[in-house]
Structure 1
Amino acid sequence: MASRKVLLPVDGSQHSDRALDWYNQHLRRPDDHVIFLMVAEPPPMLRSAGVPMEEATRAYGDSMSQAVKAGRELADRMQRHCTAIKLEVAGVRFLERLATNAGEAIVQVADEESIDLIIVGNRGLGTVRRTFLGSVSDYVLHHARRPVAVVPPAK
């Protein structure tokens, strides 16, 4: 069998951990290449009246530094999780994207990287709550041009 490229979006939540665990238990193959994707929302620019440009720029830079630090911490945490569950695959990569819509970023990366399978966890929201709150897994499921596995919460 040819090797696969598997995309696992992660955010540090129990839902993304559950998706990784499910992949490891049910679908993992030794020749898989796993890409962990962390999507961070870019910090807002302070453009309100009375905020000097220098101060707004400094605040934006501080927010970006915090986002980069959080991304590194999440990558370290995921590496420890992979070691703990004895994830044995051909390769692991970590990607970070800044985007205002995580679902769009996941779909875009899946296309750019020619992903064979996207695996996402979900929160188990009902239809009404999902409609009002939005759902990254729902967006990916309906917009990706790649196979998607949605791992629901345990009952």
Structure 2
Amino acid sequence: MGDARKVGVAIDFSICSRAALQWAIDNVVRKGDHLILVNIRPDAHYEETEMQLWQVTGSPLIPLTEFRDAHVMKKYGTKPDPETLEIVELAATQKEVHVLLKIFWGDAREKLCEAVDNIPLDCLVIGNRGLGKLKRAILGSVSNYVVNHSSCPVTVVKHAHT
């Protein structure tokens, strides 16, 4: 990937992660950068040999051309939503960025921090679900954990409705 910056965005195809993606494109990403979408799938016991291999290291970096293909995404156990695809396709053409997807399986907090080091990312943008104090205390906050444990700068983007 040479000298191009690697800007990561945590994406779970929710409205909050799409807001973070759009914010990253509008405010951080510039021509020639690599926009790497990091998707964390719940930990599961996959019977398919390929997924067993990827469970530890994460998937290979998936280019946008394959990311658009529903058949390819099915083998990774994920289905990108049309809104997210539209956002990244627009960024790829208008901002001339290289869009890649990397999928990990396991706990979102730990895997996002691992992604920062393993890819490696220059920065990470993550959405905030806007949990209340009680829910955050019970469930824990992924964004709070990543901000405190990541080895790169992390920006947390709050969705307008949170």
When normalised by structure 2's length, the TM-score is: 0.71
Identity %: 30
CA 1:88–1:109 in structure 2 vs 1: closer, same or farther (change >3 Å)?
A: same
RMSD: 2.6
Name the structure 2 match of 1:82.
88
1:61 aligns with 2:61: no
Question: Is 1:30 matched up with 2:36?
Answer: no
d(CA) in 2 for partners of 1:124, 1:78: 20
Query: Radius of gyration: which is bigger?
Result: 1
Deviates more, 1:82-91 or 1:111-120: 82-91
Q: Which amino acid aligns with 2:95?
A: E
Q: Find out whether 1:40 has 2:41 as its counterpart.
A: yes
Secondary structure at the aligned position of 1:38 is classed as strand
Which of the residues 124, 129, 132 maps onto 1:126? 132
Aligned residue among 134, 143, 155 for 1:149: 155
| CA displacement at 1:119 relative to structure 2 | 0.2
Shift of 1:96: 1.0
Give the SS at the match of 1:74.
coil
Query: Structure 2: how far apart are the matches of 1:75 and 1:129?
Result: 27
Compute the displacement of 1:80 (Å). 2.8
**Structure 1 110/37 Cα, relative in aligned 2: closer, same or farther at 3 Å?**
same
Change (3 A) 1:154 1:22: same
Instruction: Quote the offset at 1:126 in angstroms.
Output: 3.1
The corresponding residue for 1:94 is 101
Matched, 1:115 2:116: no
Q: Is the 8 A contact 1:5 1:116 kept in 2?
A: yes
Give the Cα–Cα distance (whole angstroms) in 1 for the partners of residues 137 and 94 of structure 2: 35
CA distance in 2, matches of 1:127, 1:89: 40
Which one is further off, 74-83 or 6-15?
74-83
Task: Give unmatched runs, 5+ long, in structure 2.
Answer: 52-72
Aligned pairs, how many? 135
